[in-house]
Amino acid sequence: MHMNARKVAPRVVVLLMVLGLSAVSLRMNSRQKTQLRPGDSMWRMTYVVNFRADKAGAKLRASFPLDTPSTRVVRREPLLAPGMKTARPRNPRSENREVAAVAPQPGDFRVTAQCDIHLSPRAAWQSNRPRTDLTPKAAAAYLRSEKAVQAESPTVTDTLAVLRTGVSNKKGLVERLFEYCQTEIRPGAKDAPHDAAGALGQGAATPLGRARAMIALCRAAKIPARLVTGVEIKLGADVQPHRWVEVLSNGQWESYDPENGLAHELPRNFVPMRRDGAEIVRGRNVRGLHPTISIVRMSPPPGAATVSGGRRLADIFDLTRLPLEVHEILSLILLMPLGALLTSIFRTVIGIRTFGTFTPTLLALAFVYADWRTGLMIFAAVMVLGFASRSLLDLLKLLVVPRLSVMLTLVVLCIAFGIALFDYFGVKPGSQVLLPMVILTMTVERFFLTSEEDGVGFALQLLAGTLLVAFCCYMILCWATVGRMLLVHPELHCFTIAALILLGRYSGYRLTELWRFRDLAGPGA
Amino acid sequence: MVKVSTKNANGTKIESADASLRILRGYFRLQCRTQSPIPNPQSLIPLMAQTKRRFWVRPRELRRQGVLGINLRNSDYVLATNPRKHYPYLDDKQRTKEICHQRGIPVPQTYALIQRYGDVRRFLELVGQRQQFVIKPTKGAEGRGIVVIAEHDGTEFVTSSGQKTTLPDLRYHVAGILAGLYSLAGQPDRAIVEQRILRHPVFEPVAVGGTPDVRIVLYRCVPVMAMVRLPTVASRGRANLHQGAVAAGIDLSTGATFGGVCRQQAVSVHPDSGNPIGGIIVPGWPKLLAAAIHLAEGLEMGYIGVDFVLDAELGPVVLEANARPGLAIQIANRCGLLPRLKLIDAQPAEMFRPDRRMELVAMLAELSC
């Protein structure tokens, strides 16, 4: 049987390589052939931000466009911030696409960012707009009075009282408020008021002030409203942010643009970037913040999702078609086999032993999500405290499953208070320190049993091996360029499988065996 | 003056005076524990040609010596000749025992097989009046989870290493075994309570704190290499090499021990007792080889290791069989396995007839390293 395997394995490897190569070339061919549909266009948006950091830890945040029925961000370059530490705030509940960079010391910095947008006049990506049902808490956020949106100020309430007369329903009221804001508030110069009360009081305002005035009026009438900051996609070297208003009506957010006098249906080339009133580029502890956003039209790049309207079964094989958020997760997942490949190399070629086969890969994945320093510190804390409590737990003589569950609970508590401790001492914990708790529990248990049975030295050796392999896997998982390449060409994993098959048939010595059997190679032996 | 003779891998005899051995004893002990890189002056002829111990060798050198590596063992021997469906007969000691029973191979007598948590309470009843017994998991690996009770009065139990333990502690241990604490993949397990093996007097001087075991590696039902593993203080009475037990090769034709390795370091005396390791003839050697062959036939596996212990009364009894026997046996024998395995593969089919197997063993024993 093994003679068979010896002959078949190389053939399978060759077959996989041929398969991989042909799939890659097929995909590249089809990419080159695909044209944008008539009317569709590709745009590249570039941010250049110059600023001065006042002190160490000064933070700059930039937001990227959100997807609409007619626009989609197909590619996003990572933030280019020389000398700064980039971080991606991951808040799953936030719809914002925000990236951040932290200045390690005061000084002048320059940050650039880039993204590509596919604009299609035919609505295709979101066929039906989702109904929004706000929870009372969420609704309160869209009804509250703010510093520049003074929904409770007498100027606003008095204006509302006048406008309200004779209007019976909500819809009619919103229309009248919109009408008022675009006709009765004159477009003012740069020094005109940009807050709601000022705009209504003086009868003149900046575009921002007019939008805020409408929001304040809606909120005073107990109608949820929000400020949208975005841009209009068109050629421009210094594109200014554009603001409009969204009002919740019958479970749908309706758009109103007092500046251009547009309502309900905004032009297809309006892309929102933030829906919470925040600026597109903002900073903390920074001065002289000067963002420039330029937009150019470009020829369709290979790899851009080019098919809009009409579904094809072949689209399933195009992962770039998926929303940008999914891209990140998918490219991380697609890197996992490379981590497994690395683990295999460590095991069969080098001969390093670890706790569990895929424990290092999963630890590495956790370290990617958390900041690796935080992850490592919490890992060390879990190991030390887990080991101590496991030793104490041994006195109680518990049965295996309940004992492991107690350990799991302790590990969870350890992680929770570890994060709290970091916070207390002002060290910002990574927003997601979701270490694989079950894996950690099993590692603590195995570490304890190994140190009891085979000595602490051996257990530490295994732990060091685990961390070494985890570190190398971490380096691989951080390799964003390869991750993106795999997203475009997932068929490259044919080569991964081929490499794994070759490794699986490797029958040479492991590196550690060259040490282990060194005495057998003596000249007289 | 009593002369002590040891035999090394080349078969040459080294004679050393008892007194000088005694002087060197402390040094050897140090050698074994600290893994000093200084070559042992008594470390037998093959290593003496080297001026200093190398840290690293080239793969070519190992290949020339016919050293079998883990990857090759797995791909060409374990995966190729051991059918997966027969593994349960090796992984489960109780099933191995059943096969031994069928074939009339001596094994330690089973007193009780505990399968359910309910039986844990009745544990003492099951043991009965016996003063000595061993508790072990049926699917344990590397000697894990084994407790040897040397005497008890129903409430207090004394293990073979002299530790005192109580009935609740033993029950907890048995429950741990049933829950799969010591089993290979953590799956639920059974606990065997069996006869305690009485150490054979021949190993008395070289086994400290436990019972030595004899490992035979068989390929296609032919014994290819053998070693004895001697427990030490460092290995806490377990015959486990990476914990510091001593291993010595066994000459296949005579059953005489030679050489000796402790923690990768050549030794010729036991690090604790100071008695010479080489030159001990394993009692009942032909019987032991015959039993190993017989068991390998019953298990229908191509490449296995069979572990024996030598009982003072029963002689060699089978402890367990292993589908992935370790490669340290090569270090103990100072000899690679590959030439022997290849020699066997080169034999015509009629050489594998039961009556001619011993001829093959003799051929292997002739093979120089």
Q: Domain ends where: A234, A264, A299?
A: A299
In a domain, B94, yes or no: no
**Cα gap A262→B179, rounded to integer Å:** 71
Residues 6+ apart with CB under 8 A from B116: B178
Per-residue pLDDT 10s for chain A (525 aa) are 445 777 888 999 999 999 999 999 988 887 666 566 777 888 899 999 988 988 888 888 888 898 888 888 887 877 788 888 777 665 656 777 888 888 888 888 888 888 888 888 765 555 556 777 788 888 888 888 888 888 888 888 888 888 888 888 888 888 888 888 888 888 888 888 888 888 888 888 888 898 999 999 999 999 999 999 999 998 888 888 999 999 988 888 889 998 888 888 888 889 999 988 888 888 888 888 888 899 988 876 554 444 444 556 777 787 877 777 788 788 888 998 999 999 999 999 999 988 888 888 888 888 887 767 777 887 888 888 888 888 888 888 777 778 888 888 988 888 788 778 777 776 665 555 566 777 788 888 888 888 877 778 888 989 999 999 999 999 888 887 888 889 889 999 999 999 999 999 998 999 999 988 888 876 544
In a domain, B115, yes or no: yes
- Give me the pLDDT at residue A383, please: 86
Does B77 share its domain with B223? yes
**Cα gap A321→A299, rounded to integer Å:** 18
Q: Specify the amino acid at residue A158.
A: D
Q: Domain ends where: B160, B194, B228?
A: B194
CA distance A4 to chain B (A): 10
Does B142 share its domain with B20? no
Does A374 share its domain with A436? yes
CB-CB contact of A474 with A364 (8 Å) = yes
**Cα gap B198→B314, rounded to integer Å:** 9
On whether the pTM is more than 0.90, the answer is: no
**Cα gap A77→B271, rounded to integer Å:** 65
Cα dihedral: B297, B299, B304, B307 (round 10): -90
Encoding tokens for residue A184? 């009765």
Provide the 3-class DSSP secondary structure of residue A398.
Answer: coil
Which of A179, A182, A215, A180 lies closest to A197, judged by CA?
Answer: A215
- Give me the pLDDT at residue A33, please: 63
CB-CB contact of A151 with A219 (8 Å) = yes
- Give me the pLDDT at residue A434, please: 63
Does B21 share its domain with B116? no
Does B136 share its domain with B224? no
Does B271 share its domain with B347? yes
Does the distance separating the beta carbons of B176 and A399 come in below 8 Å?
yes
**Cα gap A519→A502, rounded to integer Å:** 30
Which of B112, B77, B80 lies closest to B94, judged by CA?
Answer: B112
Does the distance separating the beta carbons of B172 and A397 come in below 8 Å?
yes
Does A170 share its domain with A210? yes
Give the number of domains in chain A: 3
Which of B197, B178, B113 lies closest to B140, judged by CA?
Answer: B178
Does A382 share its domain with A462? yes
In a domain, B126, yes or no: yes
| Closest CB to B57 among A458, A521, A524 | A521
**Cα gap B181→B187, rounded to integer Å:** 8
| Closest CB to B243 among A1, A454, A520 | A454
CA distances in angstroms from A57 to A101, A287, B70, listed in the order given: 9, 13, 52
Does A237 share its domain with A214? no
Domain enclosing residue A335, as ranges: 324-515
In a domain, B102, yes or no: no
- Give me the pLDDT at residue A492, please: 93
CA distances in angstroms from A183 to A169, A244, A261, B330, listed in the order given: 21, 15, 9, 95
In a domain, A216, yes or no: yes
- From chain A, pick out residues whose CB is under 8 angstroms from the CB of B70: 351, 510, 513
Which positions in chain A have a beta carbon within 8 angstroms of at least one beta carbon in chain B? 1-2, 5, 348, 351, 397, 399-401, 449, 453-455, 458, 505-510, 513-525
CB-CB contact of A490 with A329 (8 Å) = no
- From chain A, pick out residues whose CB is under 8 angstroms from the CB of B180: 400
Does B219 share its domain with B268? yes
Does the distance separating the beta carbons of B334 and A514 come in below 8 Å?
no
Domain enclosing residue B314, as ranges: 3-86+200-366
Give the number of domains in chain B: 2
Does A113 share its domain with A242? yes
Q: What is the DSSP letter of A455?
A: -
Does A358 share its domain with A409? yes
CA distance A5 to chain B (A): 9
Q: Domain ends where: A223, A240, A270?
A: A223
Does A66 share its domain with A181? no
Q: What is the DSSP letter of B115?
A: -
| Closest CB to A519 among B81, B243, B331 | B331
Centre a 10 Å sphere on the Cβ of residue A297 and count the other Cβ atoms it contains. 12
**Cα gap A436→B242, rounded to integer Å:** 31
Encoding tokens for residue B19? 């007194």
Which of B214, B223, B206 lies closest to B303, judged by CA?
Answer: B223
Query: ipTM for the complex?
Result: 0.74
Provide the 3-class DSSP secondary structure of residue B52.
Answer: coil
In a domain, A22, yes or no: no
Does B208 share its domain with B333? yes
Encoding tokens for residue B208? 């400290």
In the predicted model, residues of chain B with pLDDT beneath 50 are 1-51
CA distance B200 to chain A (A): 26
Does B228 share its domain with B266? yes
In a domain, A312, yes or no: no
CATH of the domain at B53: 3.30.470.20
**Sign of the CA dihedral with A312 first, then A315, A321, and A326 last:** positive
Residues 6+ apart with CB under 8 A from A198: A205, A209
Which of A328, A213, A281 lies closest to A46, judged by CA?
Answer: A281
Does B205 share its domain with B190? no
CB-CB contact of A370 with A435 (8 Å) = yes
CB-CB contact of B65 with A521 (8 Å) = yes
DSSP run (H or E) holding A406: helix A400-424
The region, left, alpha or beta by phi > 0 then psi within -120 to 50, assigned to residue A53 is: beta
Q: Domain ends where: B194, B223, B247?
A: B194
- Give me the pLDDT at residue A42, please: 86
Does the distance separating the beta carbons of A510 and B45 come in below 8 Å?
no
Nearest residue of chain A to residue B243 (CA atoms): A454
Encoding tokens for residue A392? 């104490």
Q: Domain ends where: B166, B194, B222?
A: B194
Which of B57, B19, B12, B21 lies closest to B41, judged by CA?
Answer: B21
Nearest residue of chain B to residue A453 (CA atoms): B144
Encoding tokens for residue B100? 């031994």
